[in-house]
Amino acid sequence: EPPVLLMSSWCVQGLRVSVFPRHPLFRLGERQQLVCSVQDCPVVPSLSWSPLGDRPLTASVSTNGSRSVVTFDPVMMEHEGTLLCRVSCGGDKREGKTPVHVYSFPSAPVIQGQDQLKLGAESILTCHVSDLYPAEQLTLTWFMGGSFLQSTVGDPGSSSVRSEYKFTPQNQDSGSNISCRAMLDLPDLPAGIRTRETTVPLNILYAPVVTWISNSVLVMADSPLTLSCSVEGNPEPTISWSLRTADGGSERRGGGRQLVFRAVSLSEAGRYECEARNSEGNQTAAVDLTVHAPPSDTSISVSPGEEVVEGQQVMITCRSQGAPPPNLVLKKEGVELQRTDPASSSLSFSLGSALLEDSALYQCEALNQYGSQLESRSIRVRVDLVQVSGSDLESSADAPVEVVEGQQVTITCHSDGAPPPNLVLKKEGVWLQSTDSASSSLSFSLSSALLEDSALYQCEASNQYGSQLEFRSIRRSTSFPPRLSVVIIPAICVAAGLAATAVLLDYLRRSRKKGFYQLPQSAAPSA
């Protein structure tokens, strides 16, 4: 609003001098004027302007008849003070005077520090007003929520006023507003200009706080699951999820307030940590995820392999996964051999020296309260059927035995079986000798080997469950006849007993593929 112009006039014997405005209050930097007018002067008066005291007039003057105007463009602080308008009307001299006041109050106060407040730590807010005049007439006052906090008065000669407010922010202060009000106490200043106020919200910084996290949970494998974590903090915290590993490390699994599993697996069980972090610090909360599942990935392994030679060491190992860990049971043809408690994740069973009767179907069964899983392997024990005794004979099982003409040679055939098999010795397919089931071996002697004794000798063992055939070649040697007697055992023939018929038949079928022998699949005799 423009200043109200008040007229100042003096009347002396009819001569009147008026200066307006009477109490001028000019804003620094603006263009303002004072007017001096003369009335009731019968002649053309003489008008002049001069500051009170020994000061020069730094303003322009324009006079027209009985009216004179002084212009301040712009208004400066040096224009402040009493200004005289002197009038001469004929022989009369009169003057009018007016006090000139200037001020500067260009903007509202500025508050700083409200974005750097730390919860529980002493903080400082500042309120500042610059380009001000007169500073000693300005008062800065702090308010919070309508309540007075403190006030500061400016210093003379200064062009600005600054006020500090120290306090320790608490939780309840977050989101509150604080105000700084500046009031320039000049009587002629309009009320709308006299007071300016600035209000800002308090932005209190504090480290993250985890306000809620999902409870520890137990779920079945392949189930969907969502873990949630709610946090507060300023600035807004970032959230990350990690899985604590067995060695004390961690694996990052995701970010945000939720960690979503489409189908939980056993490998994802463990302790999950929700970490909230911002510039003020961090906080972590944890939730335990337990995953249960029926046995899976059950396996049974045989070392060195599923087909072994009689007397060889065999290791059977059973493994499985599940939660809680399953009990492992090793069976032979359905009969339990060994079991473990849940504390062990594997089971091992050793055959120190494999026997023919160890040929069987071995089963690994894994069980927990959610189910069971069964895996099996067949172990087949084969017998080294051809043995040759005698230090003077150098021959592998598949190579012919060389003898010198006139040398004594004994051919022996052994067999085990249940019931005991019949043994038949043949020469080039022609019967030489046989036994009944009461004997487990058969011996045939060549008291003086002749050229015509060089032949393929065959030993056949048979009972109602099948038969087995082994052979050995004998040929005459041209070397000098040895003086030592030789025993050749060309075959050890085996036929299965009633208790192991199924396993033996499978074994005999496999052996035929390897070139050993075959037993026909005869039905077991009725009891």
How far apart are alpha carbons 76 and 28 in whole angstroms? 6
Per-residue pLDDT band at 336 (split at 50, 70, 90): very high
- Within 8 A by CB and 6+ apart from 330, the residues are 300, 316, 318, 336, 337, 338, 339, 347, 349, 362, 363, 364, 365
Region 7-26 average pLDDT:
74
pLDDT at position 519: 33
pLDDT in tens, 415-438: 766 677 888 989 888 888 888 766
Residue with the larger pLDDT of the pair 22 and 102: 102
pLDDT in tens, 93-140: 999 999 999 999 999 999 999 988 999 999 999 999 999 999 999 999
Predicted structure pTM score: 0.56
Q: Tell me which residue of 148, 108, 147 sits closest to 127, measured CA to CA.
A: 108
How far apart are alpha carbons 445 and 101 in whole angstroms? 152
pLDDT in tens, 479-522: 544 433 333 433 333 333 322 322 232 333 333 333 333 333 33
- Two tokens, residue 170: 């608490």
Region 180-204 average pLDDT:
93
How far apart are alpha carbons 206 and 440 in whole angstroms? 94
How far apart are alpha carbons 162 and 155 in whole angstroms? 10
Region 282-308 average pLDDT:
95
How far apart are alpha carbons 123 and 218 in whole angstroms? 47
Quick one: what percent of the chain has pLDDT higher than 70?
Answer: 83
pLDDT at position 10: 40
Domains of the chain: 8-103 (2.60.40.10), 110-202 (2.60.40.10), 210-291 (2.60.40.10), 293-382 (2.60.40.10), 387-513 (2.60.40.10)
How far apart are alpha carbons 385 and 508 in whole angstroms? 13
